[in-house]
Structure 1
Amino acid sequence: MCSVSTDDLEPLAVRAAAPAVLPDLPADAGLTWRPLTPGDIPAWFALCQVVDVHDDANERVAKSELADRFKGAWHDPVRDSVAGFDSDGNVRAYAWSVYRPVTEGTQAPVLFGAVHPEYRRRGLGRALLAWSEARGRQQLAAATVNLPARIRVYLDEAHTEARRLAEAAGFTPIRWYVDMRRDLGVDLPAGHVPDGLRIEPYSRDRDEDVRVTHNESFARDHWGSSPFDAESWAVDVVGGEKFRPDWSFIAVEESTGRVVGYLMSGAYDQDWEPQGFTEGWTDLVSVRREWRGRGVAGALLTAAMRAYAAGGMQYAGLDVDTDNPSGALGTYTRLGYERRQGSLLLTKEI
């Protein structure tokens, strides 16, 4: 989390420099522009599929993930999204500024968007990026808690054209991530559990304990992260179709019954065919500070690897911030994870 004192910050409503009106979108592209609705999910998903294949995306979008964009009180598709429809009702381009207000950490909209390959090089990507940035600034200007802020764009490292577009709009690369995988056909580590601790399967009745542990460990120590409230945790972490509770685990302190670490997993089967292997994916893993350096993360990861293997998966996968100060990259490497492909975060600091 950012260490800047809010006493040193101008009001976010000033820093955001939000426009009163969003910029116009191209009127000469043969498209009708309007917000996305739940009824548009099939056409929106069709666009995302074409774009993912054309761009050989590291991660492919699932239809259920698009449906989740209409859940949660912080989502406002009428104001935060726009899409270009051709005369047959096909979605040919879209943009969405996703913003979840927080009370600590960093206020940070993330911009999503895509343009059909046949509609590229007409200025649509540039116009949609400008539109979504402007909407992100409006979202920040309306924030009720004055915190450090940034507008985010995540890109695959191989997508050089998209990176040039973002950099031309003033976004700066600030963080790099690497996807890693671990062959489950190779002998797994012992997964020693430290004394005074036990590893248990995740269960819904411990969900609130896990959320609190996340907020007090990962969210407070991991760069750029902010706490989840109960609703956003339910929607974004444990409510998605791809979440696998049977592949998720908690580390429990025996003397107190307190959750001191956790690992949350997903099965993103839409990625398996294009990447050429099946995979259990570790979405989140963290350990409270006082238990770090004792092998807790390794025990959680080993438990997950065994669950993935029992589920017929060929690999265990995860991604890691290469600048993570906890030494996570080294932990993963020692457990047999190997680097695959990268992504990066570009931002405008507000």
Structure 2
Amino acid sequence: MPELPVGYRGRAVGAEDVPAIHGLVAACERALYGRVETDQGGIAAELARPGLELEADTLLVHDREGRPAARAWVERRSAVDVHPSHRGRGLGSALLDWAEARARQSGTARLVQTVPDGDPAAVALVRSRGYGPLVRAWQLEFAMGEEPSVPEPPAGLVVRPFRPGDGPAVHRLTEDAFDEWQARRKPYGEWASLAVERPAFAPAMSPLAFAGGELIGAVLSLDLPDEAGGYVERVAVRRDHRRQGVARLLLRHAFRAFHRDGRRSCTLWTHSGTDALGVYERVGMTVRRSATTFVKDLSDGSAVPSGR
């Protein structure tokens, strides 16, 4: 356990802590964004990451009354969240120290952490510890006063919603599409827990595109319980069908499905490594806010330059 400020105690996270952690993260999101964007399924999938050992790689901090005050986990990436009512007391620094120490202990060469650009205190903290920017991420929004129009698909292209049994094909498609940006391919079980088996997964709002009977594009959406609008979790198009309007067509289908469900906006995240920002802007989406993924070389403590 790290040395925590007076009045706080920490312990490893257990599976039973998911609701409490979700409440803590939700409080952070309300304070920062004015809305909750995380669901319990996402927290559970995060804690089930392969290689993450709950006893050694997670930390939940409580105050004197036993209320969750902060949490952290580390497994190549790290996350640190401090409840708004407990910020400014040194918890963030203590948990960041713990994450780095645990990463070094496990032989991790570099540590990655994503920080909202709208949280200047958190940005200043990671920069002061030698973290450098790796990629920039943007949350984009599509406002829907009226039902979005959906163009006719090109000849030979069929679009339909996700159905039971589509999981393995969508897994292959999305993992192939993200091979160039992610550190490793996820096995089906891990991927499914983050996507199609997540409790918030919305199959009716997740259109798939087929050409010649083969899956060539997919949009996977979530119906987040605390979110008034729709949310697109993943957009993937097979390499040989890119730049043909497939992503824009699928997004329009997803937007219309959310609108018919009573939603009047839809959001998604993208980052600078994908070069997809322009695609979403051409669909009519606008940047709502941004975040930066920072990285630190733990071998000598120096920041790793972005190069992007």
TM-score normalised to the size of structure 1? 0.77
**DSSP 3-state at the match of 2:191:** helix
**For 1:57-206, what aligned pairs fall within 5 Å after superposition?**
60-71=37-48, 73-97=50-74, 99=75, 109-141=76-108, 150-186=110-146, 188-206=148-166
- Asked if the contact 2:5–2:91 (Cα under 8 Å) also holds between the matched residues in 1, the reply is no
Corresponding position of 1:302: 252
- State the alpha-carbon separation in 2 of the partners of residues 111 and 58 from structure 1: 23
Shift of 1:86: 2.8
- State the alpha-carbon separation in 2 of the partners of residues 125 and 291 from structure 1: 45
Corresponding position of 1:10: none
Note the alpha carbon deviations across 1:103-129, whole angstroms, 9 max, x for none. xxxxxx221122234433332211211
- State the alpha-carbon separation in 1 of the partners of residues 63 and 57 from structure 2: 20
Corresponding position of 2:302: none
Corresponding position of 1:13: none
Note the alpha carbon deviations across 1:278-319, whole angstroms, 9 max, x for none. 321111111111111111111111111111111111012212
**For 1:7-18, what aligned pairs fall within 5 Å after superposition?**
none
Shift of 1:161: 0.3
Shift of 1:139: 4.2
Distance 1:118 1:179, change over 3 A: closer
- State the alpha-carbon separation in 2 of the partners of residues 80 and 211 from structure 1: 27
- Asked if the contact 2:162–2:206 (Cα under 8 Å) also holds between the matched residues in 1, the reply is yes
- Asked if the contact 1:179–1:341 (Cα under 8 Å) also holds between the matched residues in 2, the reply is yes
Q: Which amino acid aligns with 2:223?
A: A
* Structure 1: stretches of 5+ with no match in the other structure: 1-23, 100-108, 142-148, 273-277
2:8 to 18, 23, 31: 31
Q: Which amino acid aligns with 2:171?
A: R
Q: Which amino acid aligns with 1:334?
A: R
Corresponding position of 2:303: none
1:233 to 171, 187, 191: 191
Please state if 1:347 is matched with 2:307.
Answer: no
Distance 1:301 1:43, change over 3 A: closer
Corresponding position of 2:305: none
Q: Which amino acid aligns with 2:42?
A: E
- State the alpha-carbon separation in 2 of the partners of residues 261 and 153 from structure 1: 29
Q: Which amino acid aligns with 1:78?
A: E
Corresponding position of 2:268: 318
- State the alpha-carbon separation in 1 of the partners of residues 136 and 35 from structure 2: 14
- State the alpha-carbon separation in 2 of the partners of residues 230 and 112 from structure 1: 24
Note the alpha carbon deviations across 1:9-42, whole angstroms, 9 max, x for none. xxxxxxxxxxxxxxx5225522222101133334
Q: Give aligned-pair identity as a percent.
A: 26
TM-score normalised to the size of structure 2? 0.87
- Asked if the contact 2:22–2:40 (Cα under 8 Å) also holds between the matched residues in 1, the reply is yes
Would you say how many aligned residue pairs link Structure 1 and Structure 2? 298
Please state if 1:281 is matched with 2:281.
Answer: no
2:204 to 216, 222, 246: 246
- State the alpha-carbon separation in 2 of the partners of residues 183 and 209 from structure 1: 31
Shift of 1:162: 0.2
- State the alpha-carbon separation in 1 of the partners of residues 246 and 4 from structure 2: 56
Distance 1:207 1:161, change over 3 A: same
Q: Which amino acid aligns with 1:292?
A: R
Corresponding position of 1:5: none
Q: Which amino acid aligns with 2:111?
A: I
Corresponding position of 1:330: 278
Q: Structure 1 residues 26-35 or 228-237, which shifts more?
A: 26-35
Distance 1:349 1:200, change over 3 A: farther
Q: Which amino acid aligns with 1:214?
A: T
**DSSP 3-state at the match of 1:134:** helix
Shift of 1:94: 1.8
Distance 1:224 1:347, change over 3 A: farther
Corresponding position of 1:213: 173
**DSSP 3-state at the match of 1:269:** coil
- State the alpha-carbon separation in 2 of the partners of residues 324 and 25 from structure 1: 37
* Structure 2: stretches of 5+ with no match in the other structure: 299-308
- Asked if the contact 2:147–2:259 (Cα under 8 Å) also holds between the matched residues in 1, the reply is no
